[in-house]
Structure 1
Amino acid sequence: MATVKVGSNLSLQIGKDCHQHGVVTEEIDGLIKVYKDGHVERPQIVPCVTSALAPELGVTSWDIVVDKFTNIWARFYVPNKCHGKLPLLVYFHGGGFCVGSAAWSCYHDFLARLAAKASCIIMSVNYRLAPENPLPAAYDDGIKALMWLKQQALSVGADNRWTTQCNFSNMFLAGDSAGANIAFNIIARLDSFNAGQAAAAMKPLTLKGIILIQPFFGGETRTNSEKYLVQSPRSTLSLAASDTYWRLALPSGTNRDHPWCNPLAKGSVNLEDLMTFPIMVCISEMDILKNRNLEFVDSLGRADKRVEHFVHKGVGHGFQILSKSQLSQTRALEMMSQIKRFISGI
């Protein structure tokens, strides 16, 4: 099983010859700049770190290549002390499909602490980014990661020490922002089969639930929180940034009512036929996506889905990874406890 070292060589770099690329067609200040000739710059706004962790966390982490041809890799987190086999949480990072990495320091810290708190093994998937790889590339990578996991489960007892600690029949999909969108759309793809076919295709993996943290959805019609919620200048997601991410990520010629963006739009997935397992949705009170996320939860409820949601007061989009305020840290601990209860209660 191949491993991969992640460090400065995989960091998001600024091109030294950026002045040579001409007209900028899309830009989110400090995060991404796209030129007319197709060149893309991503400033290293968040440092990329290796898998090393402080010993006192009680978690071991390492990186593994999932698919060398598309450069998909994953970072694993395994608690050092465990009683019996542990649940498996497959996690997708956020970043509007266009930025972000499983090696970002903020995700490394958050997921290491979550693995320790929730007593679970976490596989953090590093998928391909738009606009170089527009959707559905990220969804394809998510499915490929699950198929890779299936092969690991079938080869338990070989040279994979972590697989002996993993309960592959107790698996959850999770993600924040665009990562939550990826988790949801992976389920939509799996459910395009009938339930029996999907379950058979996944064996011996058994999906028990899905955790969506501030899911990144959109739509042509603005919600009240998108129109009127006053954002801090330091907010991690503005309406303008959201629109830019969707223009870069969606297929050419589509708009924000595309089913991948708006699961409630006409022609999108039928929620009544989707997801027979429990769903957890985390919503931030100061997030422009608040109303859209609440509408999504209400629609799941009307479709008789087993859904529970939490509204984290006084914090905004991505607070659990990008804000160092005392309130954000308190809310992040609350979120981890809620995730732990969701995983252990199924």
Structure 2
Amino acid sequence: MAAMTLDPSLSLQVSSNASKNRVIVEEIDGLIRVYKDGHVERPQIMTHAACSSASEFGVSYRDVIIDKYTNIWARFYVPNTSLKKLPLLVYFHGGGFCVGSASWSCYHEFLAKLSSKTSCVIVSVNHRLAPEYPLPAAYEDGVKALIWLRQQSLLGKNEWWTNNCNISKIFLAGDSAGANIAFNVSIRLARKIDIKGLILIQPFFGGESRTHSEKYMMQPPRSALTLAASDTYWRLSLPPGENRDHPWCNPMAKMSPNLEELRDLSIMVCISEMDILKDRNLELCAKLGQKVEQIMYEGVGHAFQILNKSTLAQTRIHELTSHIKNFVHK
């Protein structure tokens, strides 16, 4: 089944004619527009890659519904290899919790190649989006996906991926807001499911006080995230009345969760030099301590791995892929 028919965000589009007389209360140009009456528009600026069992980029891939009631689904990537018991990498896409899809062609291409080059079974989870479903909905969807995956493996179902997968070697990963989801899901499941490692690519965090990189870092086209867009995403995704020092946004805040829950995990944080989130990411690494593997990607900005086609970005993507491969197989 094609992912476009599964994607809940596509059912949330509002016709331009219907929105002419509505008052806009929040907007990120080209990505999302929220009206006072609660209607939401998400322009389709990204193409969606349809899915079948066909082989592409050296992998086979399928879409699977995880929960039909909340319409959580995932795209599975299984490398075309004779190797068995491959690591399972559960991936959460970015988009500020408000936009994005596991079927976006930029994610499809990146994850298909990543699965092939790292010899990992990758499960790309399509979670519910804010503001219709504010946090913790995305975290709850991540938890539900992990529990479902474990049950499928234990019950011997879906042999087309479980036969290739080592369910005892699970890694959580994501970029931007997806890295935030992976981080919070790992805290919630740390004592319930054996998670081996955490891969955070440009993790999306914030706070009321501005960091140096938030105030002075170069904006697009060098990087895909602006400070204004970051603030808007947080206003749309956090519970009503909360600010950017909420623990889900700011893990440095007083009420943030005890990171001791992650003490048994291997953690890799991938930071972009030209990203406004650079300082937030460095602060997180410092709080996590010596157990974290910190990698800086020079000369590139936020979301370079899916949006930047430059020669430099391709070099950095190759480096990122190699780092992930080494991390999950060491």
Same structural fold, with TM-score higher than 0.5 when normalized by the shorter chain? yes
Matched, 1:212 2:200: yes
Shift of 1:170: 0.6
Compute the displacement of 1:270 (Å). 1.9
Alignment of structure 1 residues 315-330 onto 2, 5 Å: 315-330=300-315
Select between 230-239 and 98-107 the one with higher mean Cα deviation.
230-239
- What is the SS of the residue equivalent to 1:147? helix
Does residue 251 (structure 1) correspond to residue 243 (structure 2)? The answer is no
Residue 229 (structure 2) aligns with: 241
Assess if the C-alpha contact under 8 Å between 2:173 and 2:200 holds in 1.
Answer: yes
Report deviation, 1:14.
5.2
Give a deviation string over 1:198-247, Cα, whole Å, max 9, x none.
Answer: 2xx43xxx311000000000000100000111223463100000000000
The structural deviation recorded for 1:74 is: 0.2
Q: Which residue of 2 aligns with 1:294?
A: 282
Code of the residue aligned with 2:299 in structure 1: it is: G
1:31–1:182 CA distance, 2 compared to 1 (3 A): same
The 1:20–1:327 alpha-carbon spacing in structure 2 relative to 1, beyond 3 Å, is same
Q: Which amino acid aligns with 1:150?
A: R
Deviation at 1:18, TM superposition (A): 4.0
Provide the residue aligned with 1:186 in structure 2: 185
Q: Which residue number corresponds to residue 259 of structure 2?
A: 271
User: What SS does the corresponding residue of 2:146 show, helix, strand or coil?
Assistant: helix
| Superposed displacement of residue 321, structure 1 | 0.3
Contiguous gaps of at least 5 residues in structure 1: 192-197
Residue of structure 2 in register with 1:195 after alignment: none
1:164 match: 163
Letter in 2 for 1:175: G
Change (3 A) 1:155 1:54: closer
Q: Cα distance 1:224–1:54, how it changes in 2: closer, same or farther (>3 A)?
A: farther
Stretch deviating more after TM superposition (67-76 or 321-330): 321-330
Matched, 1:41 2:29: no
1:127-154 CA distances to partner (integer Å, 9 max, x unpaired)?
Answer: 0000000000000000000111121111
What are the residue-to-residue correspondences of 1:33-112 with 2, within 5 Å?
Answer: 33-52=33-52, 55=55, 57-112=57-112
Shift of 1:49: 1.3
Deviation at 1:37, TM superposition (A): 0.3
Task: Name the CA distance, whole Å, in 2 between partners of 1:232 and 1:141.
Answer: 31
Q: Residues 89 and 9 from structure 1, CA distance in 2 versus in 1: closer, same or farther, beyond 3 angstroms?
A: closer
Structure 2 partner of 1:194: none
Distance in 2 (alpha carbons) for counterparts of 1:82 and 1:177: 33
Alignment partners' CA distance in 2, 1:8 and 1:28: 25
Judge conservation of contact 2:84–2:164 (CA < 8 Å) in 1: yes
Contact residue 53 and residue 59 of structure 1 kept, 8 A = no
Q: Is the 1:89–1:174 Cα contact (8 Å) retained in structure 2?
A: yes
CA distance in 2 between counterparts of 1:293 and 1:159 reads: 37
Give the whole-Å Cα distance in 2 for the aligned partners of 1:56 and 1:254. 44
Which is further off, 234-243 or 71-80? 234-243
Structure 2, unaligned stretches of length 5 or more? none
- 1:224 corresponding residue in structure 2: 212
Partners of 1:337 and 1:175 in 2: how far apart?
16
Q: Is the alpha carbon distance of 1:108 and 1:189 closer, same or farther for their aligned partners in structure 2, counting shifts above 3 Å?
A: same
Change (3 A) 1:344 1:56: same
The aligned length equals 327
Which residue number corresponds to residue 333 of structure 1? 318
- Residues of 2 paired with 1:223 and 1:160: CA distance? 48
Distance 1:233 1:324 in 2: 12
SS at match of 1:139: helix
What amino acid is the match of 2:4? G
Is it true that 1:281 corresponds to 2:269 in the alignment? yes
1:147 aligns with 2:159: no
Q: Percent identity?
A: 64
Does the aligned pair in 2 maintain the 1:91–1:125 contact within 8 Å? yes
Distance 2:202 2:54 in 1: 28
- 8 Å Cα contact 2:93-2:101 kept in structure 1: yes
